[in-house]
Structure 1
Amino acid sequence: MNAQEIKGVIFFLTTVIGIFGNAIILVFMIYIALQEKKMMHSEVILSSLACSNLIHLLTVGLPHSLYPFGIIYFYTDLDCKSDVYLMRVSRVMIIGLTCLLSCFQCVTLASLNPQWATLKLKMQKYLILLILIVCLISLASSINSALYPVTGRNATNLKYTFNLGYCLSIYPDKLVFELTGFISFARDVAFVVLMALASAHILLILHRHGKQMKGKRSSDRSQEAGVEQQASKMVVAFVVTYVSLFGIENTIWFYQISVSKQGDPSYNDSRYFLSFCFSSLFPIILAAYNQKLRHRIICYKC
């Protein structure tokens, strides 16, 4: 087995785990909602995240997994444009919804303060609208990614190109190449900074709450720990995972758009693998922290 096939196996296993994991999460979220005849606000965001993860894995993970084995199912430029556009839209949806989830959980945890309580009620009331806004941002800001992809060809002498193997994104000149990259980077950094600040505030609240609980009996502590604290820890785990992967991925991206003038496939492979790693880890983290979901899955297996 050569290096390309080993890469394909790693990509394929990661993708399959992610697709099945997110599909199971989505099915059980719908099942719980039908049983309880309602869906909690955080569960709405988590379900939207699972959908976005599925699209991302199908448009990034699957083509990258099959390409090393010579399997290509993009035959026209339109196929490539559609795939790359959906890839970028789903990626922005993932980062935007993770940001929304961290902000929502931060406000929920801090809602003992009257000002935060008012904001919490507004976020709950307009949650669907907020998700739609994230969706519109994703659709609008990713349009440029659909302009330049074409079916794979010899990229040896092409400058300002991102090489996916099965598709190429060929930019007309240096200005467009760098401008597109920096705009995407700035948009993503804005989301990441916001989610990091929200998570830092969550950790601060949990730390203060832990100090308050020190003087109380363990039975009181267990009663007051509650679902919200567990959900908050889950959100922090999501953010830490995403920010870590984002940092490495965008270091490579920044190098590509500022130093490398040609899309080296090895850089792209590393970057795209990191981009869908979060989608594959998402179901594992969610199942580890969400007791209700884990309990339903265990009960179903039994």
Structure 2
Amino acid sequence: MDSRDVAMGLMFLSQTAVGILGNFSLLYYHLVLFCNEYTLRSTDLILRNLVIANSLVILGRGIPQTIAAFGLRYFFSDFVCQLILYMQRVGRSVSIFITCLLSIFQNITISPMNSCWKDLKGRAPKYIGFSISLCWILYMVVNSIFPLYVLGKWNSKNLTEKSYFRYCLYIGPDKITNSLYAALFVFPEVVFSVLMIWSSGSMVLLLYRHKQRVQHIHSTKGSPRSCPESRATQRILVLVCTFVSFHTLSSILNVNVALHFNPSWWLVNTNALISMCFPTISPFLLMNWIELHSIQDLLLRNIKFLILK
């Protein structure tokens, strides 16, 4: 066995273990709150679905890549291979949408009453469950069209292209169809990334203005960086920068893999590692959003300071 395969296998194994541990820890935390009859917020519903989507990405990517790196090749049947790729695509798409939804919902919640979101502040929580359910259904249906198309072409006279992903032999459509399919999913990812950047920027600006108006409340002995607004701003910036960086790089690599029917060893493994980075790191970043709830309550109690000039 090649030493580089062993090293890559250990990297996949470590990333998978950390990602599953982090996501299941966050899910366990919310299940404990639910069992203790704790009044869950709308963001708790968002986080639970995000954990599930992240877990699909990690399991669909990490386990097959780890087994393949340790020497077992093409061990999945055609059906299982299609199922794994389907699970990866659904999990990735839902994860991106729900992360964007979380940012927008938090922005609406902490926005002042005279903002453009004033009409949605009371109604937004009612649409969270519907939006998440619609997202799951939409991406499950859209992603099922592609495998059905491939299976329909399986016995036709038109030969399909073969892609070797080490753990399975993927039978795909022609290059033009594959490129259109990649573009179809990259465009929404770009839109959601832009929305999240805009929403996070709005929250940072709002927190900054609130901090300027209530400076006299904070102790003069404390460091400006230790105030709750500063801590919340840091957490928002870390989350959005991590999200945009990893998903932008992952989208670029996904397009390259889609355009190459026999991608190189480095391209396949790098794409798999990068695609799992945000689902692995996000639960540890999202645990910090619990503190944003206290910031939200602080803003609502001091709403009179948030009237924009």
- TM bin, normalised by shorter chain, reads 0.7 to 0.9
Query: 2:267 is matched with which residue?
Result: 267
In structure 2, the CA distance between the partners of 1:20 and 1:177, relative to structure 1 (3 Å rule), is same
Q: Which amino acid aligns with 1:191?
A: F
Distance 1:4 1:148 in 2: 34
Q: Which amino acid aligns with 2:99?
A: T
Query: 1:20 is matched with which residue?
Result: 21
**Equivalent residues of 2:76, 2:168 under 8 A apart:** no
Count matched residues: 282
* RMSD of aligned Cα (Å): 3.1
**Equivalent residues of 2:100, 2:193 under 8 A apart:** yes
**Equivalent residues of 1:54, 1:279 under 8 A apart:** yes
What CA deviation, in whole Å up to 9, does each residue of 1:191-233 have, x standing for no partner? 11111111111121122222223344428x99xx66x986665
Does residue 1:48 correspond to 2:46, yes or no? Answer: no
Following superposition of structure 1 onto structure 2, how do residues 1-302 of structure 1 map, counting pairs within 5 Å? Answer: 2-71=3-72, 74-113=75-114, 115-147=116-148, 162-218=163-219, 234-257=235-258, 260=260, 262-288=262-288, 290-291=290-291
Q: CA deviation at 1:291?
A: 4.8
Runs of 4+ in 1 over 4 A off after TM superposition: 71-74, 147-150, 158-162, 228-233
Q: CA deviation at 1:73?
A: 8.7
Q: Secondary structure at the match of 1:169?
A: strand
Larger CA deviation: 115-124 vs 50-59: 115-124
What CA deviation, in whole Å up to 9, does each residue of 1:77-118 have, x standing for no partner? 111111110111011110010010011011112143265233
* TM-score in terms of structure 1 length: 0.82
Distance 2:76 2:169 in 1: 12
Q: Which amino acid aligns with 1:286?
A: L
Q: Which amino acid aligns with 1:184?
A: F
Distance 2:46 2:196 in 1: 14
Distance 1:256 1:185 in 2: 13
**Equivalent residues of 2:26, 2:51 under 8 A apart:** yes
**Equivalent residues of 2:247, 2:278 under 8 A apart:** no
Distance 1:285 1:278 in 2: 10
In structure 2, the CA distance between the partners of 1:107 and 1:161, relative to structure 1 (3 Å rule), is farther
Q: Secondary structure at the match of 2:94?
A: helix
Distance 1:289 1:140 in 2: 31
Larger CA deviation: 103-112 vs 279-288: 279-288
Larger CA deviation: 210-219 vs 41-50: 210-219
Q: Secondary structure at the match of 1:116?
A: coil
Q: CA deviation at 1:124?
A: 0.5
Distance 1:230 1:141 in 2: 39
Q: CA deviation at 1:287?
A: 3.2
In structure 2, the CA distance between the partners of 1:94 and 1:146, relative to structure 1 (3 Å rule), is same
Percent of paired sites with the same residue: 27
Instruction: Look at both structures and tell me which one has the larger radius of gyration over its CA atoms.
Output: 2
**Equivalent residues of 2:78, 2:170 under 8 A apart:** no
Q: Which amino acid aligns with 1:202?
A: M
Q: Which amino acid aligns with 2:18?
A: I
Q: CA deviation at 1:45?
A: 0.6
Distance 1:256 1:75 in 2: 20
Query: 1:297 is matched with which residue?
Result: none
Q: CA deviation at 1:26?
A: 0.4
Distance 2:160 2:147 in 1: 18
Q: CA deviation at 1:182?
A: 1.1
